[in-house]
Amino acid sequence: MPSLPSRFGPAVVTALTMLAVAAPLVLAQDSRAQEARVPSSTGEIRLSYAPVVKRVASSVVNVYAARIVENRHPLMDDPVFRRFFGGRPQEQVQRSLGSGVIVDPSGLIMTNNHVVENMDQVKVSLADKREFEAEIVLKDARSDLAVLRLKDVTEKFPAIAIGDSDTLQVGDLVLAIGNPFGVGQTVTHGIVSAVARTQIGITDYQFFIQTDAAINPGNSGGALVDLSGRLVGINTAIFSRSGGSQGIGFAIPVNMVRVVIASAQGGSNVVRRPWLGAKLQAVTAEISEAFGLKRPAGALVGTVAKKSPAERAGLRTGDLIVAIDGVEVDDPNAFDYRFAMKAMGGQAQIGVLRSGREIRVAVPLESVPDGPRDERLIRSRSPFAGARVANLSPALADELRLDVTLQGVAIIEVQDGSTARGLGFRKGDLVLAVNGEAIGSSGDLERIAGQQQRVWRITIQRDGQPISVVFGG
């Protein structure tokens, strides 16, 4: 449960995995939003949401995921410990319960990635109580979305109509459908409290719909729909001090969901997104004043990678990005969201403030280049035991949200219960040096980690800052 920024106090943002029901999705043409107006009589206030619920409820499903794991003590890797104490690893089953939404009549289902992450077996229960085995066809950790496909089916399933999250306005009425706490399919209603929440810390793309419709653990992957019965978001997390709903829920906008659906329907098991090749930073009041803005807004270009689309388009360090394809952006998260939804190929027109005037630069929409990552799991007895490391390529830097101009060896995974986990190493740490020797490749790190050392002097970079630590002695 990632913590919110300190201004929110001790509360946390909680992913909604537990049990959830999802709403079916039918890919349909977007219709114009209904005319917004205040109810003019008590009769109108008594109108029911039942017709909307009846239309979409059959598209919401339960997702049951499981995997078998070994409950292994870290000392079992020590042959002396095994010799004297013996013992065999015990198996246990880890389960995850969530919701999903049918987005294609062929049996394609959208859910949250955190519902099925690391799971081996997935079952889906429909609203009519039938159960089906499902396969994971696409996982996109960056957006926390995943696509499932029902196995061995020939019938057509009720898919939900997909709306346009860009047309949502604060105050619009919405319904949330899911299975909170495993009590069964539940419908709640509320309003859109905000349409572009950033700085939430849940996914790489920080751009969420906030709603006060009651959602709780178990709603992960469930549907947020408008009063026309169109999907506008996938419920993902709550802000809570108690673990239950306090009227602040977050949903991934359906326009981001569309990108993931299109990738799955096209037969891909990954989502290909365009790469900018520049590191952006938030605009402070001082920066805003320097650019002559009335308020802090936009995304300041900090660094530009060589041979990147940004460099070839003429983007420079110190430029202030204020719009993309005519849509204003308030901060780097808003830009990342808008840019990530662009289709590959063609160009994006980016509005930039430079030297007191606004210009446009045409950035080509192309994928980030990758290189030989040479992933290695460190197994030797060292502070890095249980860490998976890789050479930092532009693609990996982009995935880990690191400066694309950096080079070195990155930690891409830290196993639960491992030495590396216990010592505080994290995914995204960049290993710079060990015992005075610079680390240039994953092979270098594996070799040094295999040496017998009483004292380990390690320098890493985390969140842009170098950190030196000493273990042993």
| Cα separation, 29 vs 31, whole angstroms | 6
Residue 465, burial from CB neighbour count under 10 angstroms (0-12, 13-18, 19+): exposed
Nearest Cα neighbor of 373 from 409, 399, 401 is 409
Annotated binding residues for substrate, written as ranges, equal 114, 144, 218-220
Query: pTM of the entire structure?
Result: 0.78
Annotated binding residues, written as ranges, equal 114, 144, 218-220
Residue 155, burial from CB neighbour count under 10 angstroms (0-12, 13-18, 19+): exposed
Nearest Cα neighbor of 172 from 221, 225, 216, 214 is 225
Q: Which amino acid is at 8?
A: F
Structure confidence at residue 90 (pLDDT): 64
Q: What is the CATH number of domain 376-472?
A: 2.30.42.10
Q: Which amino acid is at 159?
A: A
Given a contact cutoff of 8 angstroms between Cβ atoms, the answer to whether 453 and 471 are in contact is: no
CA distances from 362 to 23, 75, 131, 347 (A): 39, 56, 49, 6
The tokens for 58 are 């059959």
| Residue 291 backbone dihedrals phi, psi, to 5 degrees | -90, 0
Residue 221, burial from CB neighbour count under 10 angstroms (0-12, 13-18, 19+): buried
- Strand 230-240 vs strand 161-162: parallel, antiparallel, or unpaired? parallel
| Cα separation, 85 vs 99, whole angstroms | 44
Residue 33, burial from CB neighbour count under 10 angstroms (0-12, 13-18, 19+): middle
Structure confidence at residue 95 (pLDDT): 79
Structure confidence at residue 473 (pLDDT): 56
Beta bridge partners of 139: 146
Q: Which CATH number fits domain 278-364: 1.10.357.10, 2.60.40.10, 2.30.42.10, 3.40.50.2000?
A: 2.30.42.10
Structure confidence at residue 178 (pLDDT): 86
Fold matches, 1-31+42-271 and 376-472 = no
Listed by start position, the domains of the chain span 1-31+42-271, 278-364, 376-472
Given a contact cutoff of 8 angstroms between Cβ atoms, the answer to whether 3 and 201 are in contact is: yes
Q: What is the CATH number of domain 1-31+42-271?
A: 2.40.10.120
* E strand or H helix that includes residue 395: helix 394-399
Residue 56, burial from CB neighbour count under 10 angstroms (0-12, 13-18, 19+): buried
| Residue 337 backbone dihedrals phi, psi, to 5 degrees | -65, -50
Which sequence positions are flagged as catalytic? 114, 144, 220
| Cα separation, 159 vs 229, whole angstroms | 11
pLDDT tens-place values along the chain, 473 residues long: 333 333 334 444 556 655 333 333 333 444 444 566 766 776 666 678 999 999 999 999 999 988 876 665 555 555 555 555 555 656 677 777 889 999 999 999 999 999 998 888 999 999 999 999 999 999 998 899 999 999 999 999 999 999 999 999 999 999 999 877 777 788 999 999 999 887 667 777 888 999 998 887 878 899 999 999 999 999 998 776 666 667 788 999 999 999 999 999 999 988 999 999 998 999 999 999 999 999 999 999 999 988 999 999 999 999 999 999 999 999 999 999 999 999 999 999 999 999 989 999 999 999 988 888 999 999 999 999 999 999 998 888 888 888 777 888 999 999 988 999 999 999 999 999 999 999 999 999 999 999 988 899 999 999 889 999 998 85
Given a contact cutoff of 8 angstroms between Cβ atoms, the answer to whether 472 and 454 are in contact is: yes
* E strand or H helix that includes residue 448: helix 442-449
The DSSP code for 3 is: B
Structure confidence at residue 205 (pLDDT): 82
The DSSP code for 33 is: P
The tokens for 438 are 């610079």
Close Cβ partners of 317 (under 8 Å, ≥ 6 residues apart): 301, 302, 303, 304
**Residue 400 region by backbone torsions, left for phi larger than 0, else alpha for psi between -120 and 50, else beta:** alpha
